[in-house]
Amino acid sequence: MADSKSNGHKMESPSSIQLIIETLAVISEELEAFYCSLFERSLNSTLEAISCAARMPEVLSFQPSTFTAHLFQANISEANFVYRVLKMENSLFIYIAEAGFECLNELAVAMPMRNSDEVVATTITGPLLGCDSKELALKISKRLKKQIYLSCNVATDRLVRPLLEKHLVEQIKEHPDWF
């Protein structure tokens, strides 16, 4: 009998073993050709990218930042408030919070509409109704005629809020280059 069992395994005939070896050799050659082709394409892509970068003008040179940051404070009703201003090319980010209790609970954006005196605003995060950030962003955007991101993280208070706004407007008048 050609097929006999040894240790529970079926013994293959020499011709079937030879067929398996030949099949594995063909698969091995095809895999080698595939990986060589893949490596060659990858190498060509890398060389092409290097060549392209070498021909590129120096557009990626260091450019100093046009952003400027300013910090000022105000004492209002026996509390100290922090104002942080980040001036960007065509917009501002203004952050207001009580010193020691800084958080980002509200964020609004306001911007002037093109070819109009109208300003539009929306709340990005925080309460949708009664958002002090949105109202203040609208006013500042109208005044400065630029896009304003504003985060006013102070509990709504009829006495404190107008004084916070007044202090901000005073700083805008005193330091227009910050805004």
Q: In the prediction, which pLDDT does 4 show?
A: 47
Q: In the prediction, which pLDDT does 56 show?
A: 63
Predicted TM-score of the model (pTM): 0.64
Query: Residue 72: CB partners within 8 Å, gap ≥ 6?
Result: 83, 85, 171
Bridge partners of 82, per DSSP, are 73, 97
Quick one: average pLDDT of 160-168? 93
Residue 174: what are its φ and ψ, rounded to 5°? -75, -35
Mean pLDDT value across the chain: 84
Confidence of residue 50 (pLDDT cuts 50, 70, 90): confident
Strand 147-153, strand 91-98: pairing: parallel
What tokens appear for 138 in the block?
């609208």
Q: In the prediction, which pLDDT does 149 show?
A: 97
Alpha-carbon distance 9 to 94, whole Å? 78
What tokens appear for 136 in the block?
């203040």
What tokens appear for 167 in the block?
């202090």
Please tell me which residue, 74 or 11, carries the higher pLDDT value: 74
Give all strands (DSSP E) within the chain, no chain letters: 5-6, 9-10, 68-76, 79-87, 91-98, 107-112, 119-125, 147-153
Alpha-carbon distance 54 to 67, whole Å? 31
Which class is domain 68-178? alpha beta
Q: In the prediction, which pLDDT does 168 show?
A: 96
* Weakest mean pLDDT among 1-10, 120-129, 134-143, 162-171: 1-10
Confidence of residue 19 (pLDDT cuts 50, 70, 90): confident
